[in-house]
Amino acid sequence: MIVSIAFLLGQTLMYASPLIFTSLGGTVSENSGVVNIGLEGMMVVGAFTAAAVGYFSGNAWVGLFAAGVAAGCFGLLHAVACVTFNADHVVSGIAINFLGPGISYFVSRLLFDGATQTRSLGLDNKIPRPLNGVFASNSVPDLLLNRYATAYLAVVAVAAVWFVLYRTRLGLRIRAVGEHPEAADTLGVDVKLVRYVSVVASGFFAGLGGGTLSIAIISQFRPGLISGQGFIALAAVIFGKWRPQGAFAACLLFGFAQALVVFLGLRTDALPTQIMSMLPYALTLVVLVGFVGRSAAPRAIGRPFGAGETT
Amino acid sequence: MNDRELPVTGPAATASTTPWLLRTPAFFAAVSVAVGVIVGGVVLLVAGFNPILAYGEILAGVFSSPRNVAAAIVRSTPIIITGLSVTFAFRTGLFNIGAEGQFIVGSLVAALLGFAVNLPAILHVPLILASAFVAGAAWGGFAGLLKARFGVHEVISTIMLNWIAFYLSNFMIGLSWVQRPQSEASHKIADTARIDILGAWKLSEQGLAWRAANSGSFFAEVLRADVNWGIVIALLLATAVWYILNRTTLGYELRAVGHNRDAAEYSGINVRRCTTLSMAIAGAIAALSGAIQVMGRTQDITKLAIMEGNGFDGIAVSLIGNNTAFGNVFSGLLFGSLVHGGSRLQVRLGAPSEIIAIVIGTIIFFIAIPNLMRVIAALYRRRATRSTAGGSSK
C-alpha cells in the first residue's frame, strides 16, 4: 500500500515537471498582461531542440539550455507581434502553434534523414537522476525521490519565480504592467520592455518544459510527444489563479491524474483509462465555474499597450 | 483571461489618405499570404532546396490531374466547415478554439447512428446530420453558457472540452458494441448513411470494369479521389452563415455583440443569450463537419492518438478568410490545396512537407498584426509625399 502511494507520488512529480516549467512561463507572461496561447508550440520547439542538441552534443544540460533559448526566440516573436505591433495575442499565439511544430519537424527531417523523430539519447546522456542508487531499488524513498534532476529543478523554479514576482522590483513591475500599464507608464516603468522580458522568459520556461519531456522523461523527440501539454499548462495557470504556487499545485494535480492513469492501467482494466484521462479537464471546468473569481486575472490581460496611441 | 474582449482582427481603419486598395480586407489577406509564401521560400532556400521547384511541385500536386483537383477539394471540405464555425463565433467576439472537440463529437454521433440505425438513405442521412447538429450545438453551447453565466473564458473552456471530447470518443470506440473486431475503430457505417459519390459502385465489380475500360477519362480520374457531397454542403453552409450574419435580426444582434458588447447590452440586446446561441451554432457547424467527414470519407472513427487538427486548421482558415463566410471557402481551398500538394514534396524533392505549416503559421502571424497595414500605409504615404515634394523634376 505504502509502496503504491510512493510510486504514485513519485510518478506525479515526474509527469508534473514539464507542466510546471511551462505553466511558470505562462504565469510570468500573463502577469505582464500578455496572453500566451503559444505555449504549446513553444514546448514542441523546446522538446525538439533539447533532443537534437542533446543528441549531437552528448550533453543533456546543453540540450536543455538550448531548448530554453530556442523557445525563447519564439517568445521573442510573440513579443514583437503583441508588444510592438499590438497584435491580437490569441491569434499570434495560434500562429506560434503552427510555426513551432512546423519548424521543429522541418529541421528534424533535415537532421535525422527525413524522420520527424530524433534518434534516442543513450541512457547515460539523458538528464541524470541525482539520487539514483542512494536508496534500495523500489524502496519507498527510492520510488518517491529517485527522480530526474529536472523534477527538482522545476520545484526550485517555482520558488524562484515566486520570489521574483513578489519580492523584487522586476516582479512588481511585471505585475504592474499587467494590472495597469498606463499607471506603470506614468511612474516611469518601460511597459514594453517589461513585457518583452516576460514573454521571452515565458518562452524560455516553455522550452525547458518541452525539453524535460523529451530528454528526461523519455529520450527522444517524436510527433505527438507534446500533444496538448502546453494547453494543459495554460489551464494550470488559470486554475492556479495566475500565481506560481497556484499553478504548481494545479500541475501536481494534473500530474497526479496522469500518474493514476498509468498506475491503474498497470493493474486493472475495470476502470477505463479514457475516463480517468478526462478527469483533469472536467475538474478544471468545475473549478473555473465554482472557484475562480472573475477578478483573479491581471486586469490588463490581452490588452495592447501603446504609449500615445488609442487602441 | 476570464473577462477580456477579443478585438476583431482585420485591417484597422486607417487614415482616409490611405489608398482604397490597401484598406480592403482581401488585399490584406493577399499580402499576408504572399508574405507567407515568400518566407516559406526563404526557409526552403536556406535548407538547400529550390523554392521555385518546390512550389512548382505543390502546384502540380494540385492541378496536374482531375483526380488531384478533386482530392484537394476533398481535403479542403472539413476545414472550410470548421472555418465557418470559427467565423460564426468570431463575429460575436468569441474565439471558438473548440471546433476540434465539436468536430470529434459530430463524427462520433455520425459513426454511432451510421451503423446502429437502420433506415432508408433518404431518412438516414438527414437524421445523422440533424443529430450531429444538435449534439454539436449542445457541446458548443455549453461553452457559451459557461461564458454567459459564469464568465469562464471560452478559449479555456473549449480547450478543456476538446480533450473531454477526445477521450469520450476513444472511450466509446472501446465499447464492445461499437468496436469493430480486430481493429481500433468503430463499425463501418451503413451504405444508407454514406454521402460519397458512387463510393460503393466504384469498388463493385461493375464499377471497376467501367473504370478500367474508361481509365484516363475525366470522370474515372475524379472517381479515384474520395469524392463526396461534402463540398456541396460546405457551400450551402457558407451561404447560410453569410445569410444569418448579414441578413437576419439575429445576425445583426450577434455582430453587434461582437462589435461592442456594452453598446449592444445598452441597446437592449440580450448579450448572454447571444453568447450562448453563437457558440451553440458554431458548435453545430463544426459537428456537421465531423459528421460529413465520416459519412463522406472515413466511414468509421478510429481511436485517436493525437488530435487530428481539423478544428485547429479551421481557426487558420477562418483567420485567413478574414472571418467572412465566403472568405472561408477560398482560404479553405487554399489551405487544403497546400496540404494536398505539399504531401508530394517529401516524395519528389525530399523536402519536408512541414513547410506548409511554416507557410500557414507565417500567414497567420502577419494576419495577427493588423497594424502591419498601417505601417505599410505610412511608408506609402511617406513615399507619396516625397515624390510630390520632388515632383517637379519628374
* A251-260 b/e (C-beta count within 10 Å ≥ 16 → b): bbbbbbbbbb
Q: B196 φ, ψ to 5°?
A: -80, 155
- Interface mutation target, options A34, A90, A301, chain B, most CBs of B under 10 Å: A90
- Is the CB of residue A303 less than 8 Å away from at least one CB of chain B? yes
B78-328 is classed CATH 1.10.3470:
yes
- Is the CB of residue A282 less than 8 Å away from at least one CB of chain B? yes
| Residue entry with cell 531548448 | A67
Secondary structure string (H, E, C) spanning chain A: CHHHHHHHHHHHHHHHHHHHHHHHHHHHHHHCCCCCCCHHHHHHHHHHHHHHHHHHHCCHHHHHHHHHHHHHHHHHHHHHHHHHCCCCHHHHHHHHHHHHHHHHHHHHHHHCCCCCCCCCCCHHHCCCCCCCCCCCCCCHHHHHHCCCHHHHHHHHHHHHHHHHHHHCHHHHHHHHHHHCHHHHHHCCCCHHHHHHHHHHHHHHHHHHHHHHHHHHHCCCCCCCCCCCHHHHHHHHHHHCCCCHHHHHHHHHHHHHHHHHHHHHHHHCCCCCHHHHHHHHHHHHHHHHHHCCCHHHCCCCCCCCCCCCCCC
* B260-276 b/e (C-beta count within 10 Å ≥ 16 → b): ebeebeeeebebeebbb
Q: Residues A47-72: pLDDT tens digits?
A: 999 999 999 999 999 999 999 999 99
In the structure grid, which three cell numbers stand for residue A12, read together?
A: 506525479
Alpha-carbon span A278 to A116, nearest angstrom: 28
Q: Residues A272-304: pLDDT tens digits?
A: 778 878 887 888 788 788 765 555 677 778 777
Q: Residues A93-136: pLDDT tens digits?
A: 999 999 999 999 999 999 998 888 888 888 888 888 888 878 88
Contact A272 B171 (CB under 8 A): yes
- Minimum distance, in Å, between the CA of residue B389 and any CA atom of chain A: 28
Alpha-carbon span A115 to B317, nearest angstrom: 28
Mean pLDDT of B217-233: 86
Contact B2 A296 (CB under 8 A): yes
- Is the pTM higher than 0.95? no
Residue whose C-alpha is closest to residue B167's, from B287, B303, B313:
B303
Of A86, A99, A224, the CB nearest to B365: A99
Q: Residues B148-206: pLDDT tens digits?
A: 988 888 888 998 999 999 999 999 998 889 999 988 999 999 999 888 888 778 888 88
Q: Residues A178-189: pLDDT tens digits?
A: 999 999 999 999
DSSP structure class, residue B358? H
Of A87, A103, A231, the CB nearest to B358: A103
Alpha-carbon span B72 to B263, nearest angstrom: 43
Contact B368 A88 (CB under 8 A): yes
| Residue entry with cell 521555385 | B52
Dihedral over Cα of B256, B259, B264, B265: its sign: positive
- Is the CB of residue A102 less than 8 Å away from at least one CB of chain B? yes
Question: Is the predicted pLDDT of residue A308 greater than 50, yes or no?
Answer: no
Q: What is the ipTM of this complex?
A: 0.89
Alpha-carbon span A307 to B3, nearest angstrom: 23
CA distances for B272 relative to A27, B9, B151, B248, B251, angstroms = 29, 22, 10, 19, 15
pLDDT at B360: 92
